Amino acid sequence: MIQFDNSYLRELPGTYLRQPPAVAPAPEVVVFNASLAAELGLGALPEAAAWFSGAEVPPGAEPAALAYAGHQFGGFSPQLGDGRAHLLGEFLGPDGRRWDLQLKGSGRTAFSRGGDGKAAVGPMLREYLISESMAALGIPTTRSLAVVATGETVWRDAGGLPGAVLARVAASHVRVGTFQFFAARGEEDKLRALTDYTLARHYPGVSGALGLFDAVVARQARLIAQWMGVGFVHGVMNTDNMALSGETIDYGPCAFMEAYAPGTVFSSIDRQGRYAYANQPLILAWNLARLAETLLPYFDADEARAVEIANDRLDGIAAVYQAEWLAVMAAKLGLPHVEDAFVQELLHAIQGVDWTLAFRRLGQDGYLALFDDTGPISAWLAKWQALQPDLAAMARVNPAVIPRNHLVEAALEAATVGDLAPFTALLAAVQDPFGPEAGREGFCLPAPVGFGTYVTFCGT
């Protein structure tokens, strides 16, 4: 049984619209995260099919669609909101932490903007798979509790697809776009209440809007550095997809980079490369600037002074991120610390080489076989080996297994026609990312040459 305690709805009236999810006609659990349910004190949840599909509203739940705005590919949309999601409510875990429980793909809301609010089973299983991979990699993320087939057909460009709902657990769904929504409307009372609520929920030892901003900068810088360390490309780093909790949220056209190329883009709609792999730290700062704009009145009563404070903080983001990035790279290289020039020399040497294997196999026999041109990497290796790296420590932070794009697609295609075996096998592999390659070679190698260029879609 889930004991709901819905503080967001209770403390922030006017920031959501109450709305029940669509009723699924024939719900059936596709996958249930029993280990996460146990960790959160939720038990086996025999009601999962009904509760997580919209067929029944759990006792104590108060379904609502949350309001937010956002910059999408740089253009501001003053009203977005949960167009295909319903917050069922919040519950407390065994450690007292508060969690949101949200349904995704659960039908139309007042924010749907003409969409049907539904989701197909493939994109929902993608979020389940990638979010579980991120969790196993130790990267802050929303988690997937279940995917439930609805028994409906969802119509997309590809034709009719089996519908499904994802049950998502998050520290909260407060986004940069949530702040933008109320700032754009001049609703200072709601903005102040949202600031106080976010501080109390996520940063209880911090006070004031400036303290909140600094805390969010620190968490987001660490998060993006961790993404970069595993070659993760989010694909849609819009401001409505940046959570103030510091969790990765909204796995749409995301993927993991294989051959290292700074300009890697997977999203079909990112034609300009705005959210390319190497641009993610830049977008971090851009999105945080948008958050700072919403908080200006609370930085200082004098507008000029508030802008000065904000600019000073924004100017410091690059250094905060750089420190986090170098810490990630030092760990990956088995060293206590590294200099940027040393890292840049490595990055130059591994251009075009599989990112994951370039770090996982570093220090192993046969490493140079990964390279067509061994000159640059050989020179770098001599310097690295002289620093006496900790190879055992490296094995604990450099994964052998990531969700390889060709395996993800094969698993989702099979699941769409009812065969869950490839998905189940891939899920088990990504949940043990640091285990040995031996016996799991099929999950550790890049896509075959014939796989071609990988393109992902938003899944709406």
Q: What is the C-alpha to C-alpha distance for residues 34 and 212, in angstroms, rounded to an integer?
A: 34
What does the block give as tokens for 181? 């929504």
What does the block give as tokens for 93? 């875990």
Q: Which helix (H) or strand (E) holds 112?
A: none
| Residue whose C-alpha is closest to residue 454's, from 413, 419, 411, 407 | 407
Q: What is the C-alpha to C-alpha distance for residues 218 and 220, in angstroms, rounded to an integer?
A: 6
| Residue whose C-alpha is closest to residue 170's, from 276, 14, 58, 66 | 66
Q: Which helix (H) or strand (E) holds 190?
A: helix 188-202
Q: What is the C-alpha to C-alpha distance for residues 217 and 312, in angstroms, rounded to an integer?
A: 13
What does the block give as tokens for 233? 């490309």
**Dihedral over Cα of 314, 320, 326, 332: its sign:** negative
Can you point out the beta strands (E) in 6-50? 16-18, 28-32
Positions marked active-site: 240
Asked whether 198 and 244 are in contact (CB, 8 A), the reply is yes
Ramachandran category for residue 352: left, alpha or beta (phi over 0 → left; psi -120 to 50 → alpha): left
Cβ neighbours for 172, distance < 8 A, ≥ 6 positions apart? 8, 98, 100, 198, 201, 202, 243, 244, 245
Asked whether 346 and 380 are in contact (CB, 8 A), the reply is yes
**Residue labelled with tokens 């700074």:** 262
Reduce the DSSP state of residue 289 to 3 states and report it.
helix
Q: What is the C-alpha to C-alpha distance for residues 349 and 392, in angstroms, rounded to an integer?
A: 23
The DSSP string of 313-329 is HHHTHHHHHHHHHHHHH
Q: What is the C-alpha to C-alpha distance for residues 178 and 182, in angstroms, rounded to an integer?
A: 7
Helix runs in 364-420, H state only: 375-386, 391-395, 405-416
Q: What is the C-alpha to C-alpha distance for residues 444 and 430, in angstroms, rounded to an integer?
A: 10
Cβ neighbours for 92, distance < 8 A, ≥ 6 positions apart? 3, 5, 98, 99
